Structure 1
């Protein structure tokens, strides 16, 4: 501007140059704003593509193909005369299923064709019959109509029929496809809500695999993590912010807490393996150990967020309480802590959401085990939902692809819910000064 006014230019030329420079600045600002909008749009597009891909692959896992069969609890076929625990352990329930299939398709002959016919139904159908007969011994010798889960190849083929007339045969032969279409035409084969996905534990068979064991393992692990990390983290934050003297030692502690928040999570897994399992000899693949490891990982997050919440309380609150004769402890417990608690709870929920999505540290302590039984306590062998997703993603069966995506949908739903609760608590409870 000074160069323009000091040069031998007329006012009109000076005005034109100033307008040109302003136009150039405005043009650069628009370009910069456009880059920002494009970056946000690209991020949103990436998230939309990711969610669309997951939902398109996983939504079909919430329905399962079932087959209707007329089964007869024939004592001769079962090989038992009475219903008791010993007899049921030796009873041949698979033979009952095979007999029902042969009665439905009497024209099937030959060992290979019969073996293919028997593969229409999941191999877990015999266990369902055993449970029904155990609950109601009066069914022995009677006939009833039941729905059973179809084999995963049958399920995959039936779901693909909605996309094309031929469907995806995969490992399904044309003869088997004909039987499936025949059952579909008579209403003896249909798609139903997949309750097995939410009630069963893990299984080598996709149609029998569920997430209940992983969900319970995640719940127990988070309970241990919350019970340890929240009180310890809040107590540490209160001491550092309200009572600790300001010297080199407290500065060193604060720096190390901030550094621990950036440490890769697998390092905490190695620490848990060395201390909790090898030294203290705690059980492997247990929510107790998983909770201890995740406590170490989430403590820095909770301490930092709790200290920020304490700092947000105005000094006038402390000064007013001390002016009324309150002790330092009374000021903190009766005035500062209640006002800072909403921010602390928000930080704790975010820390729990972070812990729920962790996989690497839990792999190091053995929570990658194949767990069929649903855990009932913090010391029972278990896995967690992210590890279950990791295991299914490595399975070769095509039907596990949709179950992997469905489990990811459940995990994302839980994480979104937890983060929504954190935002709601912050908006609902926080006070603005």
Structure 2
């Protein structure tokens, strides 16, 4: 037995002994250098990314800061205090200009010539008589008495009071006569020139006079247009996404539809304006420059975006939800309506609100259907003539008056505020309804 064990032991070759060779590939100095180089490259990449984010944030701050610096003064308006004697005969004839001019001339008794009084008359806005008429309509007891009223100053006086005219320039280069500057300084010294919040900017429609121009009509027009857009594009877009993702057979036709939807999402917006011009205005004869037509055009433009976002949200729901619902006896329609769609709601809402924000900021399609018209009255219905905020900004930016520059920037700030609000709502709704798997 001992001999057998010795023979078997001798037949088994001994385990090889690893020779002491060079150090492992992962322990040498060359590996340490490569590791340090990789770490340095990663640090450089991170610093480059942080620098890119910082530069982008700086550019954004500079952009918004420059707009805010030019537009902040538009939220304030300059008014002139006058002691107005309302003659019943003048009020009965609708002459509200004469009382205002008499009160203004009374503050400058030394000015007796016609040219000087014409300069004084130019201190008042052309809409000041209408303001006085509105005051009398609210308080008829003013007639036959002397009342202290504050009326809107002319846009040049308003710009002077806000410091937008350089006083050190000669009269010919300044764009404002020395006589007007002296009269405005005299009113300011007497406490008859003051600034207050510009409610007209939000309550009035457009005007040829900058001090009377407001974006109220554009805001209402934008809201009415978005209302039509939302009522048309949201239900149709969600229904189309549910059908294509959950029920449509996967064949050549559905593939063609999907390709066309993706292509429509990338079509320039002005193409939809041309479509609206040819179909809604040319063929159906709908009213030009109306929120109804604008909403129809915006609905066509945002529909592909909503469909794509809704399909992505539906696709993100785990298949186990569908399998579990079908396993307990739910029909395919019940599975989608009671289980899949509620869980996909955060993504659908986010895509919908982003689509509405895109529609709010569009200009080109609405220019094609005539919403660039000069609209003085605030629209009260879907078929009234209206404009929207982006188009109002476009129109004011093209105006030569200095005062329209600040109103353009103010309208941009308001539009950015609406866009930030819509995106904030999208983030909040997503966090409220979001489910993590």
| Aligned equivalents of 2:331, 2:309: Cα separation in 1 | 25
Q: TM-score, normalised by structure 2?
A: 0.90
By how many angstroms is 1:172 displaced?
Answer: 2.4
Q: Rate the CA distance shift 1:128–1:405 in 2: closer, same or farther, 3 A.
A: same
1:202–1:211 CA contact under 8 A, matched in 2: yes
Correspondences of 1:331-346 after superposition (within 5 Å): 331-346=335-350
What residue is the counterpart of 2:125 in the other structure? 122
Q: Does residue 80 of structure 2 align to residue 63 of structure 1?
A: no
Give the CA deviation at 1:57: 0.7
TM-aligned CA deviation for residue 18 of structure 1 = 3.5
Which runs of 5 or more residues in structure 1 are unaligned? Answer: 1-7
Q: Does 1:54 align with 2:67?
A: yes
Question: Does the CA-based 8 Å contact 2:132-2:151 persist in structure 1?
Answer: no
Are residues 1:29 and 2:42 paired?
Answer: yes
* Pairing partner for 1:42 from 44, 55, 67: 55
Q: C-alpha displacement at 1:333, in angstroms?
A: 1.5
Give the whole-Å Cα distance in 2 for the aligned partners of 1:168 and 1:304. Answer: 61
Measure how far apart 1:11 and its partner are.
9.0
Q: CA deviation at 1:320?
A: 1.9
Please identify, of 332-341 and 165-174, the stretch whose mean Cα deviation from structure 2 is larger.
165-174
Q: Give distance in 1, aligned partners of 2:57 and 2:139.
A: 55
Structure 2 equivalent of residue 147 of structure 1:
150
CA distance in 1, matches of 2:329, 2:47: 58
| Offset from partner CA, 1:140-166 (integer Å, 9 cap, x none) | 3222111011111101111118x9886
Q: Distance in 2 between matches of 1:11 and 1:219?
A: 71
CA offsets, 1:266-289, max 9 Å, x none?
A: 111111111111111101110000
CA contact (8 A) 2:125 2:154 kept: yes
- Cα deviation, 1:284-327, whole Å, max 9, x if unaligned, reads 11000000000011001111111111112222222222222222
Q: Write out per-residue CA displacement over residues 23-51 of structure 1, whole angstroms, 9 at most, x where no aligned residue.
A: 44334333333332222121111101001
Aligned residue pairs, count: 414
Equivalents in 1 of 2:256, 2:138: separation in Å? 64
Please tell me whether the aligned partners of residues 269 and 293 of structure 1 are also in contact (alpha carbons under 8 angstroms): yes
Rounded Cα–Cα distance in structure 2 between residues aligned with 1:269 and 1:168? 48
Q: Are positions 1:298 and 2:340 aligned together?
A: no
CA contact (8 A) 1:223 1:291 kept: yes
CA offset digits 1:149-204 (Å, max 9, x no partner): 1111101111118x988699733222221221121122111111111111111111
Bigger Cα Rg: 2
- 2:87 and 2:175 map into 1 onto residues whose CA distance is 33
- 1:237-261 CA distances to partner (integer Å, 9 max, x unpaired)? 0100111000011111111111111
Question: Which aligned pairs between 1:317-356 and structure 2 lie closer than 5 A?
Answer: 317-356=321-360
2:287 to 279, 283, 288: 283
TM-score normalized by structure 1? 0.91
Tell me which residue corresponds to 1:5.
Answer: none
Please give the per-residue CA displacement for 1:313-358, whole angstroms capped at 9, x wherever unaligned.
2222222222222222121122222222222111111111111011
Query: Alpha carbon RMSD of aligned pairs, Å?
Result: 2.2
Whether the 8 Å CA contact 2:68–2:413 is kept in 1: the answer is yes
Q: What's the secondary structure of 2:379's corresponding residue?
A: coil
Question: Does the alignment pair 1:359 with 2:363?
Answer: yes
